Amino acid sequence: MLVPAINREEIVLEEEIGRGSCGVVYRGTCRHVQVAVKELNAIEGDEEHSRFWLEVSIMLQIRHPNVVNIMGACTNPKNCLIVTEYLPNKDLQYMLDKCHKNKETIDPLYALKFAHDIASGMHWLHCSQPKIIHRDLKPANVLIDQYNNAKIADFGLSIVNQEKEKLEKKLTGSPLWMAPEALEMKPVDEKIDIYGFSIILYQLLTTSPIPYDLTPFKKNFPKFLAAITTQNLRPQIPSSIPSSLSDLLTEGWHQDPAKRPTFHHILSQLGEIRCSMALRSDVNATSLWLKNFGDTDKVKVDQFCKVIYDFLDEDVPDPETKDEVQYQKYKCLLTICRDETAHIDQNRQGEKVPCTTLTRFGLLLVWFGPLQKQNATIPGFLERIYHTMKEHWFHGDISRESAVGLLTTAAETNLNGWLVRTSDQPSHPFTLSRIINKDKNPEFNHMRIAYNAAINKYQLEIKTTSNKKDKKVEKSSSSAGNVKLEGYYLSEIINQSSTLLYLKKKHIVSRKQYSDIFVNRKIAIANTFGYSDGTTSK
C-alpha cells in the first residue's frame, strides 16, 4: 500500500499533549487541519526503518469508528512522525484521574459503553490481516472524541516498543496492565490484549485511576511481578458489581491465556449486559433491541421507530393519512427518541444522520415505559408518549438550571410559572417545577413524580400542612395530611394537582420544542385544560 507521505515542513508542532514509551505527542496542524503528531523515538538502521514503514502502511489500512484514524507519516528517517486525527477530550486515564480527584463515579452505562467501544476497536484489529496485536492496551492509549466515543491509539507500534525491551522496573505505566506472560517475557499472542482490556473494564466499573493497591509493594517491582505471575494477584472486585460482569472480568484476566475469551465473545456478553441494564430489565425492550440491533449502540431514528411499530403490531402512518392523530403519535416518537448527542455517518462525505441510542431508549422506558401494547385498562407505550408531549406544560428533558431560568423569566412578567420536565431517575421519571414565591428573590419548588410499576401508574404525593411558604397548598386542602395522586397518564396527575398546587393554565411557561409536531392540525386536540389549537399558552 502507498503510504501518504507528509513532509516535515508541512507539520507545525504546537503544545505537548502526551508522552510515553513510544515518544512524544503534540497538538499541531498539517495542511491547515488540526492534528495530533506523535514524534517517535529514534529508529536506527535501514532494516528497522523499513519495518517501520511496513507497519505504518498496515496501520493506514485500518478504518473503524473506535480506532484512531492515521492520516499519514513523515518520510524523514531521522524524524519519524505519525500524523493522526486530533481528539480534544484527551484520554481515558485523564478522565479516570479527574473523576477520582473530584470524587465522582462513572455511570455504569457509560462505563459499559466505553468498554464496548474499546472491545469493538480491538476486535477489528485482531481480525485484520495481518493480525494487529496492541501489546500496550491501557487507559492512556484510549482516546475520547467529542461525542464521547472511545478510540484505540498507539496500536501496531511494535517496531518502536519492542517485546525484547526490558520492563521499566517501577510500579508505574504499562506493567499494571500487562499479562503475566508478558511480565515474564514469554511469547505472547492476542490474548495479552484481552488481559489489558479486563483491567481497564475493572477501572471503568470502579472509577479507579490505578487498578491495584500498591501500598504492600512499596515500589518493589520484583515483588509486584511475583504477585501477578505466581500468586495470581488481581484487582479486588466489589460485591456491587453484577455477577455477569464479575465473571467476564475473571475470565478476561485468567492466568492461562488460552482460557481467556476472544473480543468476539466479550462483545456478545457486553451487548446483552448493557442492553438489559440500559433498558431497565424490560424484557420486551431488551428482546426487541437484541433481536433487531444486536450489540449496536445506535441506530437511525426512522429504523428504530419502524421496529417499535412492528412490535406493537401497528403500521407506520403515512404523512398523507386522514388520521392525523396517528401521524402525530409517530412524529412524537420520532422526536423524543432522538439522541442529540449522537449521530451516524451515513456516507463517506460525513453526512450526519439523526439516531437513537441504547441509552436514549432506556430513558424513554423510564419516562413512558414499560414497552407494551395498549389494552382496555392500561395505556400503551405510544399513547403515553403522545398524551404527554401534546401538553403545553411539558418541556421534555431540560435541566434543572434551564427550568429555573424559564421560571425566573416568568416571574418577571408577574406569573406563578410552572412546567413539567423529565428526570433520569427510574423511580421518579418526571419533575414538576414551579414558582412558590415570585418576589424580588423568586423561590422554586421541584416535585418528583413517581412511577409505580406494580400498578402501571404515575404518582405524586403532595404535603398539605407543613409548607408554610406555599400557602396556596394549605388553603386549598380540605383535610390535614398528605394527598397522593395517581393516574395512568401524566396529564391526569397534573389535572388533579392543579387546584391543590394552584396551577393555572395561564401560568404555564411557554415552550418552543415540539410545536412543529402539532402545527397545522386538521382536527382539534384537547389537552387537560381544554386547548384546541397548536399555539402555546401565554
The residues that are catalytic are 136
Distance in angstroms between the alpha carbons of the first and the last residue of the chain: 65
Interatomic CA distance for residues 290 and 285, integer angstroms: 9
Supply the DSSP string of 379-425, one letter for each residue: --HHHHHHHHHTSTTB--S--HHHHHHHHHHHHHTT---EEEEEEEE
Residue 221 and residue 171 in contact, taking contact as beta carbons nearer than 8 Å: yes
> Angle formed by the axes of helices 283-293 and 301-311, to 10°?
130
Instruction: Provide the residue type at 299 as one letter.
Output: V
**Grid cell at residue 133:** 496485536
Interatomic CA distance for residues 475 and 468, integer angstroms: 11
Sole residue written with cell 470524587: 103
**Grid cell at residue 444:** 422554586
User: How many CB atoms sit inside 10 A of residue 145's CB?
Assistant: 17
Give the 3-state secondary structure of residue 25.
Answer: strand
Q: Between the CA of residue 366 and those of 105, 227, 292, 461, 497, what are the distances in Å? A: 21, 45, 21, 19, 22
Question: CA nearest 22: which of 32, 2, 36, 6?
Answer: 36
User: How many CB atoms sit inside 10 A of residue 506's CB?
Assistant: 9
User: How many CB atoms sit inside 10 A of residue 498's CB?
Assistant: 16
> How many C-alpha atoms does 286 have within 13 Å on its Cβ side?
13
Residue 343 and residue 314 in contact, taking contact as beta carbons nearer than 8 Å: no
Assess whether the previous peptide bond of 242 is cis (omega < 30° from 0).
no
Interatomic CA distance for residues 459 and 416, integer angstroms: 23
Give the 3-state secondary structure of residue 100.
Answer: helix
Interatomic CA distance for residues 462 and 484, integer angstroms: 6
Residue 424 and residue 413 in contact, taking contact as beta carbons nearer than 8 Å: no
Instruction: Provide the residue type at 409 as one letter.
Output: T
Give the 3-state secondary structure of residue 378.
Answer: coil
Bridge partners (DSSP) listed for residue 352: 345
> Angle formed by the axes of helices 108-126 and 358-368, to 10°?
150
**Grid cell at residue 308:** 417499535
Dihedral angle of Cα 214, 217, 220, 223, to the nearest 10 degrees = -110
Instruction: Provide the residue type at 480 as one letter.
Output: A
Burial label for 404, CB within 10 Å (0-12, 13-18, 19+), is: middle
Secondary-structure breakdown of the chain: helix, strand, coil percentages, each rounded to the nearest 5: 40, 20, 45
- Listed in sequence order, the residues at least 6 apart from 510 whose beta carbon sits closer than 8 Å to its beta carbon are 392, 536, 537, 538
